[in-house]
Structure 1
C-alpha cells in the first residue's frame, strides 16, 4: 500500500462501524470512537479518494420483490483472451449482478438473479448463451444464501 494511502486504527474503526450500519451518522461514529464528526467526514473522503471506500449500497431482499432465483454460472470461454470482451457484453444483461474472472475450470464465474425458472431459462438461452466468446455454461441454483458479510478488521 502506498504510504499516502495507509490507514490507521481510527480509519478501521470508522469502516467497522459503517459496515455494521451504513446509515450511521458521522457525528454518532465520532462519539463512539472519540473524534469529531468532521474528522470522520475528512477521513471518509480520504478513503474514497484512495479507492478504499467505493461507495455504499442498499441491500435488497430480491425474493420479497418477486425475484426468487439466484444462480451462479460457470462460464467457459472459447479463449481466455476474450474475457474483457465477454465481460463487457455480460454487463449489458441486467440480470447479471456479479462477474468474476477466475482460475480453475471456468474462465468466468457470474451470479444472476431471475424472477422464476422460466425467466432463468430465457436469460440463459436468449441472452447469456448468445454472447460471442462463450463456449458453454454450467448453472448452479442457490437454494439459500446463509451468509453475506464483510471481513472484520
Structure 2
C-alpha cells in the first residue's frame, strides 16, 4: 500500500464520520469497524494530518436561518491570480463557498447567501470590485450530498450503521 492510500479500517472510519461525525463516538466507530477506540482516535488524527479529512462542517438550511436569498454564481477570474483571489473572495460577506474549476472560463463556482436582495447585490458588487467576472447566476433551492459511492460503507458493520 502506498503512503497516499488508506486501508479498509480508515475507509470504514471515514464512512462513519461522513454519515454523522457529530453524534458518533470513537467507541461507537471502533465497534463498527472492529478496532479499539484509541486506535480510532489515532487513525482520525493521522487522517487529519495527512489531509484526507479536511474538516467537519455543519450543513445549514439558509432559508430556515433567515437567509432566503441563495445563489449559485459561475464566474471567471484570471488563472494567474486565481489562488490569491479565492482567499479574497472567501473573505467577502455573503460568500459561503468557492469551488475552483479546471477550465479557463467559468473557472469558479460560488455560493452566495443573504437575508435580502440588497445583501446579495452588495456581495455581487464586492465580487465585481475584486475583478471577478460574473458569467451566470442561478437561484439555489436545495443541495444534497453523499460520500462518493458510499465510500467505505462495506468496511463498517452494516447492522450498526444508521442507528
**TM-score normalised to the size of structure 1?**
0.85
Paired with 1:81 and 1:33, the residues of 2 have a C-alpha distance of 45
Q: Deviations over 1:9-41 (max 9, x none)?
A: 111111111111102000011112221111111
Displaced runs of 4 or more, over 4 A: none
- 2:128 paired residue number: 129
- 2:119 paired residue number: 119
Contact 2:76 2:133 in 1 (8 A): yes
Paired with 2:39 and 2:83, the residues of 1 have a C-alpha distance of 40
Paired with 1:101 and 1:146, the residues of 2 have a C-alpha distance of 18
Paired with 1:118 and 1:94, the residues of 2 have a C-alpha distance of 12
The one of the two structures with greater contact order (alpha-carbon pairs below 8 A, sep at least 6) is 2
- 2:144 paired residue number: 147
Q: Deviations over 1:115-149 (max 9, x none)?
A: 12222122212x11111x3344421111x215222
Contact 2:73 2:138 in 1 (8 A): yes
Alignment length (residue pairs): 148
Gaps of 5+ in 2: 152-163
